[in-house]
Amino acid sequence: MQKTIALFQEIVTLLEADDKKRPVAPFIPSEALHTTLDLTLKDQGMVDEDFLVSLKELILSTPKTATHAFFNQLFGGRNEKAVLGDLLAVILNNSMYTYKAAGVQIGVEKVVLEKCIDLLGWDHHAGGTIASGGSMTNFMALLMARDSKDNEIRHQGVQKRMAIYTSVESHYSVPKNASFAGIGSDNVRFIPVDKYGRMSPEALSSAVKKDIENGFNPTLVNATAGTTVLGAFDYIPSLSKICKEHNIWLHVDGAYCGSVLFSNKYKHLIEGIEAVDSFSFNAHKMIGTPLTCSLLLVKNKSYLYHSFANEADYLYQTDEDDFNPGKTSLQCGRRNDALKFWTLWKSVGTLGLERIVNKQFELADVARDYIQNNPDYILYSYENSISVCFNYQGISARDLCTQLYEKSQLLVGYGNFDGHEFVRLVTINAQNEKEDIVRFFKVLEHFVAEYSSSFQISAKTM
Ligand SMILES: *Cc1c(COP(=O)(O)O)cnc(C)c1O
Q: Does the CB atom of residue 69 touch ligand 1 within 6 A?
A: no
Atom number in ligand 1 closest to CA 134: 5
Q: Does the CB atom of residue 74 touch ligand 1 within 6 A?
A: yes
First-to-last C-alpha distance (Å) of the chain:
58
**Ligand 1 center to 227 CA (angstroms):** 9
**Ligand 1 center to 99 CA (angstroms):** 29
Q: Would you say residue 92 has pLDDT above 80? A: yes
Q: Does the CB atom of residue 224 touch ligand 1 within 6 A?
A: yes
278-282, strands of its sheet edge to edge: 127-131, 294-298, 278-282, 249-254, 217-224, 162-167, 188-191
**Ligand 1 center to 52 CA (angstroms):** 35
**Ligand 1 center to 172 CA (angstroms):** 9
- Stretch 84-99: mean pLDDT, rounded? 97
Q: Does the CB atom of residue 329 touch ligand 1 within 6 A?
A: no
Atom number in ligand 1 closest to CA 132: 7
Give pLDDT tens digits for 211-243. 999 999 999 999 999 999 999 999 999 999 999
> Phi and psi of 265, rounded to 5°?
-75, -35
**Ligand 1 center to 54 CA (angstroms):** 33
Q: Does the CB atom of residue 232 touch ligand 1 within 6 A?
A: no
Q: Would you say residue 99 has pLDDT above 80? A: yes
- Stretch 285-314: mean pLDDT, rounded? 94
Q: Does the CB atom of residue 415 touch ligand 1 within 6 A?
A: no
Residues 235, 201 contacting (CB under 8 angstroms): yes
Least confident of 76-80, 176-180, 248-252, 450-454: 450-454
Which residue owns the Cα nearest ligand 1 atom 3?
A: 134
Within a 13 Å sphere around the CA of 360, how many CA atoms are in the beta-carbon half? 33
**Ligand 1 center to 171 CA (angstroms):** 7
What is residue 276's predicted lDDT score, i.e. its pLDDT? Answer: 98
Q: Does the CB atom of residue 85 touch ligand 1 within 6 A?
A: no
Confidence of residue 320 (pLDDT cuts 50, 70, 90): confident
Q: Is 61 helix (H, G, I), strand (E, B) or coil?
A: coil
**Ligand 1 center to 4 CA (angstroms):** 34
Q: Would you say residue 61 has pLDDT above 50? A: yes
Sorted by sequence, the CB contacts under 8 Å of residue 75 that are 6+ apart come out as: 65, 282, 284, 285, 288, 291, 428
**Ligand 1 center to 406 CA (angstroms):** 26
**Ligand 1 center to 47 CA (angstroms):** 41
Q: Would you say residue 133 has pLDDT above 90? A: yes
Q: Does the CB atom of residue 255 touch ligand 1 within 6 A?
A: yes
Give pLDDT tens digits for 400-458. 999 999 999 999 999 999 999 999 999 999 999 999 999 999 999 999 999 888 887 76
Question: How many residues are recorded in the chain?
Answer: 462
Q: Would you say residue 461 has pLDDT above 50? A: no
Q: Does the CB atom of residue 166 touch ligand 1 within 6 A?
A: no
The CB density around residue 107, as the number of other CB atoms within 10 Å, is 14
Q: Would you say residue 79 has pLDDT above 70? A: yes
Q: Does the CB atom of residue 360 touch ligand 1 within 6 A?
A: no
**Ligand 1 center to 35 CA (angstroms):** 34
> Within 150-285, where are the H helices?
153-156, 173-180, 201-213, 236-246
Residues 208, 246 contacting (CB under 8 angstroms): yes
Q: Does the CB atom of residue 251 touch ligand 1 within 6 A?
A: no
Question: Average model confidence (pLDDT) for the chain?
Answer: 96
Give pLDDT tens digits for 338-362. 999 999 999 999 999 999 999 999 9
Atom number in ligand 1 closest to CA 254: 13
**Ligand 1 center to 9 CA (angstroms):** 32
Atom number in ligand 1 closest to CA 282: 7
What is residue 462's predicted lDDT score, i.e. its pLDDT? Answer: 45
- Stretch 188-201: mean pLDDT, rounded? 98
Q: Does the CB atom of residue 283 touch ligand 1 within 6 A?
A: no
Q: How far is CA 90 from the centre of its chain?
A: 21
Q: How far apart are CA 72 and CA 77, in angstroms?
A: 12
What is residue 143's predicted lDDT score, i.e. its pLDDT? Answer: 98
Q: How far apart are CA 199 and CA 410, in angstroms?
A: 32
- Stretch 236-251: mean pLDDT, rounded? 98
Which of 27, 16, 4 is closest to 401 using CA atoms? 27
Of 227, 253, 257, 292, the one to substitute when testing ligand 1's pocket (max ligand atoms within 8 A of C-beta) is 253
For helices 236-246 and 201-213, angle between their N-to-C axes, nearest 10 degrees: 20
**Ligand 1 center to 285 CA (angstroms):** 9
Give pLDDT tens digits for 149-180. 998 999 999 999 999 999 999 999 999 999 99
**Ligand 1 center to 132 CA (angstroms):** 11
Q: Does the CB atom of residue 387 touch ligand 1 within 6 A?
A: no
Least confident of 53-67, 115-129, 391-405, 446-460: 446-460
DSSP code of 409? Answer: S
